[in-house]
Amino acid sequence: MRNIPGAIRSLSERGWLSRVHLGAWRGRCWAIGFGCASSFLVYNIVYLFYSSVPGNNSEYPLGWWGWFDQGQYLTAATAFLNGDFSPSQHFYPPLYPFLGSLFLRLSESHAFYLPNLALAVGYFAVLVMLFGRYIGWWGAAACGLSGMFLYEPFRLQWVIPWTTTLGAFLIICALFLLDRYVRRHNQDSWTAGVAMTNAVLFGLVVGLQAPLRPADLALVAPIAAIYAVLLVYALLSADRNGRRGALAAIVGGAAGFLVPVGLMLLFNSVTYGSIAGGYFSTVTSIGFDPHILPDRLFSHLLASQIFFGEQDADWLSVVPLVFAATVFLPIALFTGPIVMRAAAAAACVQFVIYFSYSDLLPTGTFRYFNIHYFKWLAPVALCIALYFVRQSFSRDASEKGRGRTAVAAGLLLVLVVSSVDAGQQLRPASLIEREGQQITLDLGDEKIDFVDFVGVEGGWTDVYFPGSSRVFGDGNQELTVVADYRFLPIKSGTRLLFFKPLNGGGLKIEFSETIPVPDRFTSANVRPVDVVYRMGFPLGQQASPAQISDGSPGQDLILSGETVVFEDWSVFEGSHRWSEGAASRVILYLLSSEPNQCLSMDGFTLGAQTISASVGGEAVSETRLDGQGTVTVPLGRAAGKTEIDLAFSNPHAPNEADTRSLAFAVEAMSVAPCP
């Protein structure tokens, strides 16, 4: 009791009880408390109302347990509970299913509810404790909540069972422990015991990636390498106590890393009869090729539609704030605190590795939630970007200069990156042979990135997922699906995308029976395309079309240079394209906003028709035709994406053999000043 006043006096002398420190402590507690409560609330709201939560949808009561990945987690968790180590029961590494097995007796349908909730809240708390020292507690809380929950694609990934939920928590803990070492290793309180404890925990959170997501050991490798280099430097240059602490940390870190890695190898040996297990063979089978990285970075981050034929499946379109923050990561490699450089290095390694996998497609990023791989990164990237912005307003002149330089460089990089565009150039092809479902082409000596087959349509999943279709290149050498190519469903038919461009030659495609080739199929239905990169205006690639054609009304390029997409029209039928049903739509992507422009559509009708046209929902014209004629649609000063809706008074079937409901066939189109 006598020592209490002295202890209080000692703390006061060191500043621990000053108003500043108490205020900072209260600010941290309030920010973490508010954010954790908000995370808890958002998590439970999503869990209550998201239709894929088991039991939330009476038509599909299994919910996400009917999905492949989640079904495998539940199968493995059940196997752990029953002591079953059969290889067939353990498709994925064991750590995350084992975590779920601990809660399986509480609720089989919701075994991952509690661990995912704890990991999401824990991730947020550690993030704020890490970055709050650099960007303020409330700034870190705002970045954490925004990165985790602002956008629905990220919000859902904290609720849906994914191995990356635990992975994200381990990554943020590794960054926190690295930062803790950097900040405190020169303090008197940093004893050999503290150094060893910190290193053991660091080695543990890094090593736990092995039984969780072995491929992500490469992601955390830069963080571990930086910690190791700092320890070796301390071992060689510090005083005696410093060397003792560094040596203890090296031994502790190695031990912490080797324990989970050893347990993983033991599990593999017991389950698969080999320490390598079955995971690596699965990962390598989906195709890894760094040569595809530039195309994938462009498609994932900027413009998904140019290669993959689908609009709004890229980061710029769906999560623009995270995209902008991510562009700052290369800047963070060269300036800022060590922990931010480590996080930026880890992110860059992840982009290089993940976007080099053939099976990671933009079409699955948000549709099939592959964005979950990057949920650890979104809040971290926002924190790093905010750090540079905050630094640019610092009272310290040198710090302000560094901050403003980083912000200027980051903004310039955002402008440059968002100005990268790609043009689709149509190349000639000859249809050599058509026999049933088999098509043989001659591509000459042209470079080809993909081929669109107009009118070759199947169900979305029949086209998208690898089936029984086969592709043979020059010399009749069969190409490997996923590793070499992929079929993609597009509006006009099916796209055959090559992951390495073909350099001409012969090409033979054997479509499966679920992707029928129409009877009337000619070389006009084949559109080989070469993609050429170019610099344009910021965000200009967002207006680039998903498909092009060869100059006929079946194409997406019309005479004056604008682009167009047809909805509820037939495929190109040699010289024309029919409207189908009582209404059809034409979507123009106009390059200019010249006044008094008109769209002219030359064609012919099936019987007498009154054709009413609306632009952007506003009625603009009505044309009566009986046979050949022109439909003229005033566009006003429309620019960019312009939707033209056409309604037909008398759509009907032309004969008993053709039962389609037709009204107007367009033969030629142009945009020009109104007459």
Q: What is the mean pLDDT of residues 487-504?
A: 89
Q: Which residues of 655-664 are buried (b: 16+ CB within 10 A; e: fewer)?
A: eeeeeebbbb
Please give the residue that has the higher pLDDT: either 20 or 310.
310
Q: What is the mean pLDDT of residues 328-346?
A: 95
pLDDT tens digits for 449-463?
A: 999 888 888 888 889
Rounded distance, CA 205 to CA 170, Å? Answer: 5
pLDDT at residue 523 above 80?
no
**Contact of 379 with 147, CB cutoff 8 Å:** yes
CA atoms within 13 A on the CB side of 458: 21
pLDDT tens digits for 116-126?
A: 999 999 999 99
The per-residue pLDDT for 550 is: 38
pLDDT at residue 567 above 50?
yes
pLDDT tens digits for 462-481?
A: 899 888 899 998 878 899 88
Let me know if 281 is exposed, middle or buried by CB neighbors in 10 A (0-12, 13-18, 19+): exposed
The per-residue pLDDT for 554 is: 38
Across all residues in the chain, what is the average pLDDT? 87
pLDDT tens digits for 248-279?
A: 999 999 999 999 999 999 999 998 888 877 66
How many residues comprise the chain? 675
The per-residue pLDDT for 23 is: 63
Rounded distance, CA 217 to CA 225, Å? Answer: 11
pLDDT at residue 541 above 50?
yes
Please give the residue that has the higher pLDDT: either 431 or 514.
514
Q: Which residues of 551-567 are buried (b: 16+ CB within 10 A; e: fewer)?
A: ebbbbbbbeeebbbbbe
Report the chain's C-alpha Rg in angstroms: 30
Rounded distance, CA 519 to CA 434, Å? Answer: 10
Q: Which of 242-251, 476-485, 546-555 has the lowest mean pLDDT?
A: 546-555
pLDDT band at 551 (very low <50, low <70, confident <90, very high): very low
- Among residues 596, 587, 299, the alpha carbon closest in space to that of 449 is found at 299
DSSP secondary structure letter of residue 419: T
The per-residue pLDDT for 445 is: 84
- For the record, the structure tokens of 180 come out as 């803790």
pLDDT tens digits for 420-453?
A: 888 887 777 777 788 889 999 888 888 899 998 8
Side chain identity at 247, as an amino acid letter? L
The per-residue pLDDT for 519 is: 78
The per-residue pLDDT for 280 is: 63
Question: Which three-class secondary structure string do you get for 482-534?
Answer: CCCEEEEEECCEEEEEEEEEEECCEEEEECCCCCCCCCCCCHHHEEEEEEEEE
Q: Do strands 526-535 and 447-454 pair parallel, antiparallel, or not at all (unpaired)?
A: antiparallel
pLDDT at residue 45 above 90?
yes
- Among residues 43, 164, 55, 70, the alpha carbon closest in space to that of 109 is found at 55
Q: What is the mean pLDDT of residues 395-403?
A: 86
* 599 three-state secondary structure: strand
Most confident of 40-49, 401-410, 657-666: 40-49
pLDDT tens digits for 352-362?
A: 999 998 889 99
The per-residue pLDDT for 563 is: 54
pLDDT tens digits for 57-115?
A: 988 999 999 999 999 999 999 999 999 999 989 999 999 999 999 999 999 899 999 99
* Number of DSSP helices (H) and strands (E) in the chain, helices first: 22, 16
pLDDT band at 559 (very low <50, low <70, confident <90, very high): very low
pLDDT at residue 142 above 90?
yes
Task: Enumerate long-range contacts of 141-144, CB under 8 Å, 24 or more apart.
Answer: 141/31, 141/32, 141/34, 141/35, 143/379, 143/382, 143/383, 143/386, 144/35, 144/379, 144/383
**Contact of 647 with 631, CB cutoff 8 Å:** no
Q: What structural domains does the chain harbor?
A: 166-285 (no CATH), 289-418 (no CATH), 422-538 (2.60.120), 551-675 (2.60.120.260)
Rounded distance, CA 630 to CA 553, Å? Answer: 14
pLDDT at residue 377 above 70?
yes
CB-based contacts of 644, cutoff 8 Å, min separation 6: 585, 586, 587, 588, 599, 613, 614, 615, 633, 635
- Among residues 508, 515, 472, the alpha carbon closest in space to that of 493 is found at 515
Other Cβ atoms less than 10 A from the Cβ of 464: the count is 19
CB-based contacts of 634, cutoff 8 Å, min separation 6: 596, 597, 598, 615, 620, 621, 674
- For the record, the structure tokens of 357 come out as 């996998």
pLDDT band at 285 (very low <50, low <70, confident <90, very high): low
The per-residue pLDDT for 120 is: 97
Displacement of CA 181 from its chain's centroid (Å): 33
pLDDT band at 595 (very low <50, low <70, confident <90, very high): confident
**Contact of 231 with 246, CB cutoff 8 Å:** yes
The per-residue pLDDT for 557 is: 36
The per-residue pLDDT for 387 is: 95
Rounded distance, CA 312 to CA 315, Å? Answer: 8
Q: Which of 71-85, 478-492, 538-552, 624-638 has the lowest mean pLDDT?
A: 538-552
pLDDT band at 657 (very low <50, low <70, confident <90, very high): confident
- Among residues 424, 416, 413, 418, the alpha carbon closest in space to that of 385 is found at 413
pLDDT tens digits for 168-217?
A: 999 999 999 999 999 998 888 889 999 999 999 999 999 999 999 999 99
- For the record, the structure tokens of 22 come out as 């108490």
The per-residue pLDDT for 547 is: 58
The per-residue pLDDT for 279 is: 66
The per-residue pLDDT for 546 is: 62
Q: Do strands 447-454 and 583-590 pair parallel, antiparallel, or not at all (unpaired)?
A: unpaired
The per-residue pLDDT for 467 is: 84
DSSP per position, 430-468: EEEEEETTEEEEE-TT-EEEEEEEET----HHHHHS--S
